Structure formats: structure tokens, C-alpha cells
Structure 1
Amino acid sequence: MAETIPLLQEALHSGGASNLPVGFVKYFVKLHSGDWRLAQDHWERIVEMVLKTDAVERAASGHRAIHQAVQATVSFLENMERCPLDPTSPASRRP
């Protein structure tokens, strides 16, 4: 299945034609200290996990399922970027 998940380097060079925002790709690779291979590995693992969630329609398969999983993954990770987990922040403390 990993061969159908968009490659980060291709997405960067396609200028967003792969439905992956260029800014997101740069951010995700930066999270991995510029290690493209590690970033790609983690990207594929995350998308594969999202494929098994309700973010992907049950009836979706093939390209449609991958597209839905990729979009949900990007949305989730972009929200994490805006709201990083910081165990010292008041918002992350549980009562």
C-alpha cells in the first residue's frame, strides 16, 4: 500500500500537485531533522493507521481511500503544529 501514498519529495517538487501542501511537507521533514527517509517512513505509517479509522469512508477503496486518509492526516498534523503538545502548559494538564 505504501507505493500509493504520496512521496514527500515528489510532493515538494510538484508544487502541491499531489494534494500535499508544500509548507506541510517542509514542516514534516523539519520535524524529522531533515531526514527525508525517516520522515517518509513515519508519513507512510501514519497514513496507513489513518486508513483504519473513520476518517476514511467504509466504501472507499484504492485511490479514493488513500486520498481521504492523506487529507485527514494532513489536517490532523497541521492542527498539532498550531497546537503543539507541551506537558507544562495548563491546557495539557488533566484535573
Structure 2
Amino acid sequence: MNASHDELFQLMLGRTTTKAVERILAAGWVKPRTIESAYEDYGPDSLPPLSVVLSGGKPAIRQHDGTWMDYDGSSWDDWEMEYPMTVLHEGQA
């Protein structure tokens, strides 16, 4: 078992079998990355369009023009983003 396997197993609170964990990892599960600040080299501005983050408990998607939009269609400026944020999905560059 590797660290990802152990971490996923702990997240699932041991309520599933090792075989299920192995299948989930084989399907491509990776631990979501956390962005601690806007000034990181790989901060939110580095994410490609259609990336999704969780900021302040709300999901936001990066638009093709570089702006961020939340689930109700409101635009967010970079200064409105809350940190740390979790990258839920990285769009295609």
C-alpha cells in the first residue's frame, strides 16, 4: 500500500474494502490540491479555463476570459477569493 491508498482509506473511515480503494485509485483519484494564497506560483491565476475551485465553501469556475464565476452566475474578482481554496477540477489548457 502507498500513501495515497492509506489516505483514501482513512478518508473513507475504513467502511470499504481494500479492493474498493484500489479500484478508486486505479480510476484516477488524486488528493485535491490546496492553494494557500494568490501569490503562489501555482495559484488560481495559473489554472486553465473550466477549472473548478472551492473558495469559502462555495464552488467557482474559471471562465475562458480568466474571470471566476460562482454557482449562481455572479462574477468574482481575484480579491474576493477566500484562502485556502481547494482545486476540485483542473480544466484543459
Do the two structures share a fold, i.e. TM-score over 0.5?
no
Q: What is the TM-score with the length of structure 1 in the denominator?
A: 0.31
Q: Which structure exhibits the higher relative contact order, with contacts defined as CA atoms closer than 8 Å and separated by 6 or more residues?
A: 2
| Higher strand fraction (1 or 2) | 2
| Higher helix fraction (1 or 2) | 1
Q: What is the TM-score with the length of structure 2 in the denominator?
A: 0.31
